[in-house]
Amino acid sequence: MYYLLGLVGHPVAHSLSPLMHKAALAAHQLEGEYRLLDFTAAELAACVKKLPSQQFVGFNVTVPHKLAVLPLLNQLTVEAEQLRAINTVKILPDGTMVGHNTDLAGFMAALTQAWTVGTETRRAAIAGAGGAARAAVLALARLGWKEIVLISRRLEAAEALVCELLPLLSATGAPTIISVCANCSTASDSYDLLVNCTPVGLYDTAIPPWLADLLGKVRWDGLFFDMVYRHGNTTPLVQLARARSLPAADGITMLAHQAALAFQFWTGKSVGVEIMLDALGL
């Protein structure tokens, strides 16, 4: 079988995915390739619908299409239903396209690797109120964090996110979730874990004062986890955290775990995250 895979997004030229999936294919001695598929919003629907007839067996989805691709798919996995965003699609032999999301499991794996102590009575803060924050809340709940504070300057978006997530969390003994903005007094407490789910540091080095202040509220024995990553360099927030002697991790390990999970979803074959990281020279 020939595994024709790809990445749908705009732009995609900077992507590290081809390096990782080429290594995964080689590790299992599978024939295939991983192509970059740069589709604009106007091109998305028509181009995605053609992928089954072009013999693709799967593809990743990145910004800005993680939401827009939803109505183009035939089926969704439980993870995709919960996160309401797609980053992985499998194409079945009959052309059926199954949407999936590896953000949740990828973050859980990366955080578990970075956080080595218990979560009992621990308090986590999440900066942001978008799709990444949604995955972070669900992941922390599954990992047993008892209190999660959602911090966003977009208070309405944060409150809406909490309302959407409560039904998903209630069946499993949901932690306390507090929705606040960056300037609220409730954001002045200390945290054991801070997860950055904003795009700060993705395109520039400027750190908003409110986020720098929030970073300063993480306990000395806690952890800062930045979902943003920069290949070959640390993110500005990770640099700031480490300058303050605070343990910190960026999103590159999460990216590798996501890639390994996507590869297994497409091929049914597991691949160690070390293979993905080695392909990135890490």
- Domain 2-101+254-279 in CATH: superfamily? Leucine Dehydrogenase, chain A, domain 1 (3.40.50.10860)
Amino acid, res. 129: A
Q: Describe the crossing of helices 155-170 and 131-142 by its angle, rounded to 10 degrees.
A: 40
Q: Describe the crossing of helices 252-267 and 103-114 by its angle, rounded to 10 degrees.
A: 130
Residues 76, 88 contacting (CB under 8 angstroms): no
Q: Which residues are catalytic?
A: 66
- 20-53 pLDDT tens trace: 999 999 999 999 999 999 999 999 999 999 999 9
Q: pLDDT value at position 204?
A: 81
Range 162-189 burial, b when 16+ CB lie within 10 A, else e: beebeebbeeeebbebbbbbbeeeebee
Instruction: Give me the mean pLDDT over the 105-116 stretch.
Output: 93
The architecture that CATH gives domain 104-250 is: 3-Layer(aba) Sandwich (3.40)
Displacement of CA 36 from its chain's centroid (Å): 19
- 190-223 pLDDT tens trace: 899 999 999 999 888 889 988 999 999 999 999 9
List the beta bridge partners of residue 225. Answer: 195, 249
Q: How far apart are CA 225 and CA 248, in angstroms?
A: 6
pLDDT over 60 (residue 271): yes
* Token output for 10: 């705009």
Q: pLDDT value at position 57?
A: 98
Residues 225, 249 contacting (CB under 8 angstroms): yes
List the beta bridge partners of residue 37. Answer: 8
Residue among 272, 278, 266 nearest 33 (CA): 266
pLDDT over 60 (residue 183): no
**pLDDT-derived band of residue 144, with 50, 70 and 90 as boundaries?**
confident
Pairing relationship of beta strands 123-127 and 97-100 according to DSSP bridges: unpaired
Residue among 165, 182, 183 nearest 174 (CA): 165
Alpha-helix runs per DSSP H in 51-89: 78-83
Domain residue ranges in the chain = 2-101+254-279, 104-250
Same CATH topology for 2-101+254-279 and 104-250: the answer is yes
Q: pLDDT value at position 264?
A: 98
Q: pLDDT value at position 162?
A: 86
Q: How far apart are CA 34 and CA 25, in angstroms?
A: 9
Q: pLDDT value at position 279?
A: 96
Mean pLDDT of the chain: 91
